Structure formats: structure tokens, C-alpha cells
Amino acid sequence: MMKKILILSANPKNTDKLRLDQEVREIKAAIKRANNREQFEIVTSLAIRVEDLRRALLEYQPAIVHFSGHGSGSTGLALENNSGQVQLVSTEPLARLFGLFQDKIECVLLNACYSQTQAEAIHQHIDYVVGMNQAIGDVAAIEFAIGFYDALGAGRSYEDCFEVGCASVDLQGIPESDTPVLKARRRLLRWGEQTSGEQTQPKTNSRDVVLAKSAENNSQPKYYGGISQSLSGGQMYGGMQAVQGDYNQQTMRIKNTASANEKQLTQQQAVHLLVQIEQMVKEFPELPTITKEKSLRYLAASIEEVQSNDPDKQFAAGNLKRMAETLKTISETSASTKGLWENVKAILMQLSTWLGIAQNFFPE
């Protein structure tokens, strides 16, 4: 099934000039050179006004919406009025509009400064939303977009597209790869259910971008898991089989009950163990900064989920696995970090029963 990518851009006359034409050009080039380019169609709506946004969503019914332009934090995104001047669109109406298209739109990318607030609001309705947690420079924004759509054209999951976009910024030596933020949840099917058509898988110009759960919708596939709170990418899983991305064949055995001779942790004890890991990672002096920050982001998502009133344990375990993989990888290249990894692994083993997963779910 062909996926339609709607690119929206706005650069009002009374705002700093951005290289939006180049960004649109680069996105089109990324899809054009993709092996599976026939699976995508790109449509554009430039210099968009409020009414243009509404009409474009109605007319094109896109699977992916990409906005390029300025953002202003909690006050909204900068569109244009009939005179080409700034007209801010506030967060609530924007989220409400996207909510009307939640059965069609899979991913929204807000390539605008300080757009994390809008990303969080839109994520109430849309599974994958990227925003920016601070100002982002023009060059970094374009590099992120190139990496994201190169990966999309290669058939990667939205989480992987996000990671490749961040890596693209890093590879250019631009210190802004932590600015994009992903809010996402991976939808997974129960055994025998079908997908709804998705693939199994001086002052410089700047633009003023976690995975979470939502209520079940009987008209959509059931899902389990996700990543929450400012995460870079994420690997989802479930009791049967993931339906998109590189993890299509990954399965996981869920332990329904703890062994009779194993002591079941309380929720408070589980939180305490996670906080122990957090302190160990924070205070380990020889852990590379990038590895530390990435691990702590995954860990923060798990802690928040485990602390919730009705924690999704698979949701939390998915984040912990990505954290574990990050620490395991660095331990294989740096002897000084092996002790940290062994201590973290021991705590994860204690948590495995409470999380409802097999102990071999985490890397050895």
C-alpha cells in the first residue's frame, strides 16, 4: 500500500529566513533514490495558512505529515496569515485537528524549534510524533530530515528512522543530535489479527522535537509496549509478533506466573531497583557521555512507567532492553565499564520476574 507524505512549510515574512526549499528538495531526493520509492508519494503545501493545513489533511489523507518552519514553544507553531505574516496555531486546536485523522496518520514530524509541546499533544492521537526540545539550527534540521527519510526509504521502522536522523546530525559534527525527541508507541497484533494496511515494517537561523500508551481502540489493532519520555528510537515487542520494522521476526516468551520459589517484588521495590541502576549509571565516571545520556533516557522512561498507577510492564521492559543493549555494547569495547554492566545485569535479573519476562530477554 502506497504511503503519502505530506510536507508542509511556513516561513512568514516577519520571521528569520529558513532554508525550507532545500529541506523539501532533500526529502524528495531521499525518497527518489530509495529502492522502494514506488511505495511513497510526496505532496507539498508551502507557505501554509491555518485553513491550508486543514484542507491539506482532508484532501491528501497522508500517512506521514512533515512540518518545516518556526515554533515558539507553548504558544504554538508559526503558520501564515493572508498577508504572509505570522499566525500562531496553539497546541490544543492543533492536537484536536490531528485527532480527526488518527486512523490515517501514522507519523508526524515537527521540524521546528521548541515543538516538543505540540508533539506531546499530538501524540495523544498519533502513534509516532517527532518534535524539538529546544532551538535547532537550519543545517541540523535538514540533516535530521535527510537521515530520517533515507531510512524510511530503506524500509526501516519509524524508531529507526529517528535514530538514523539523529546519527546523521552527529556524523556532520553538529552538536544538536539530542534536540529531536521521539514520542512513539509500536502497535503489535495478537496472534491471527491482521494489519490495517501498514507495512510489516552571529545569530544563526534556527527553528524554535518518548514512547507512551493510549486507550485501546476496538477499530484498530491491539498493541502492547512502547517507549515514553524523550527517547531516541526504541524497540517494541509483544507476546506474539511485531508487525513493522526490522523487528518483524523478533518474539518474546512471556512468563505468566512467577516460579513458586521465587519472591515476587512489589511495585515499590521494582522502582527502588531501577533507581539503583540510575544512580550507578549517573555516577560511573568512565562511561562515555553519549552512552550515559542515552541509557538514562531509556531508564527514565521505564521508571516513569513502573511508577504509574497501572504500569505496562512490557512497555517498561522494552526500554530496559534498549538500555541494557547500550551498556552491553560499550562494555565489550571498554574494559573499565564491564563492572558496571555486570552490576546492572544482576539487577535486571531480579526485575525480570516482576516484569513478566524470561531472564534471557536481556543480553547476556
**Tens of pLDDT along 318-335?**
889 889 988 988 888 888
Same domain, 273 and 333: yes
Q: Can you tell me the distance from the alpha carbon of 321 to that of 247, in angstroms, rounded to the nearest whole number?
A: 14
Q: In this structure, are strands 128-132 and 107-111 parallel, antiparallel, or unpaired? A: parallel
Same domain, 228 and 280: no
Same domain, 280 and 239: no
Q: Can you tell me the distance from the alpha carbon of 295 to that of 326, in angstroms, rounded to the nearest whole number?
A: 7
Chain centre distance of CA 293:
16
Determine the straight-line distance between the first and last CA of the chain, rounded to whole angstroms. Answer: 39
Same domain, 238 and 296: no
Same domain, 279 and 181: no
- What is the pTM (predicted TM-score) of this model? 0.57
Task: Tell me, yes or no, whether 257 lies in a domain.
Answer: no
* Domains: count for the chain: 2
Measured in degrees and rounded to the nearest 5, phi and psi for residue 104 equal -110, -45
Residue 119 parent element (H or E)? helix 116-122
Same domain, 27 and 99: yes
Q: Quick one: average pLDDT of 56-82? A: 94
Within 10 angstroms of residue 159's Cβ, the number of other Cβ atoms is 26
Same domain, 210 and 304: no
**Tally of CA atoms within 13 A in the half-sphere of 65 that contains its CB:** 30
Please report which confidence band the pLDDT of residue 290 belongs to, taking 50, 70 and 90 as the band edges.
confident
Same domain, 277 and 237: no
Of 212, 247, 282, which marks where a domain is finished?
A: 247
Q: Can you tell me the distance from the alpha carbon of 78 to that of 122, in angstroms, rounded to the nearest whole number?
A: 16
Chain centre distance of CA 334:
28
Cell numbers given for 176 = 544538536
Task: Tell me, yes or no, whether 63 lies in a domain.
Answer: yes
Strands (E), 46-153: 64-69, 77-80, 86-89, 107-111, 128-132, 136-137
CATH number at residue 346: 1.20.1440
Same domain, 316 and 229: no
- Tens-place pLDDT, residues 3-35: 999 999 999 998 988 999 999 999 999 999 999
Answer yes or no: is pLDDT of 229 > 80: no
Looking at per-residue confidence, does 64 or 309 come out higher? 64
Residue 180 contacts by C-beta under 8 Å, 6 or more apart in sequence?
Answer: 130, 131, 132, 133, 136, 144, 162, 165, 166, 169, 209
89-100 b/e (C-beta count within 10 Å ≥ 16 → b): bebeebbebbee
Task: Tell me, yes or no, whether 66 lies in a domain.
Answer: yes
Looking at per-residue confidence, does 193 or 360 come out higher? 360
Please report which confidence band the pLDDT of residue 121 belongs to, taking 50, 70 and 90 as the band edges.
very high
pLDDT for residue 204: 43
Range of the domain at 285: 267-361
Same domain, 96 and 56: yes
Q: Quick one: average pLDDT of 346-357? A: 91
Same domain, 180 and 110: yes
User: If 0-12 CB within 10 Å is exposed, 13-18 middle and 19+ buried, where does residue 174 land?
Assistant: middle
pLDDT for residue 230: 33
Task: Tell me, yes or no, whether 242 lies in a domain.
Answer: yes
Answer yes or no: is pLDDT of 228 > 60: no
Same domain, 299 and 180: no
CATH number at residue 100: 3.40.50
CB of 280 closer than 8 Å to CB of 331: no
pLDDT for residue 186: 60
Looking at per-residue confidence, does 194 or 306 come out higher? 306
* Sole residue written with cell 555516577: 283
Please report which confidence band the pLDDT of residue 298 belongs to, taking 50, 70 and 90 as the band edges.
confident
Please report which confidence band the pLDDT of residue 231 belongs to, taking 50, 70 and 90 as the band edges.
very low
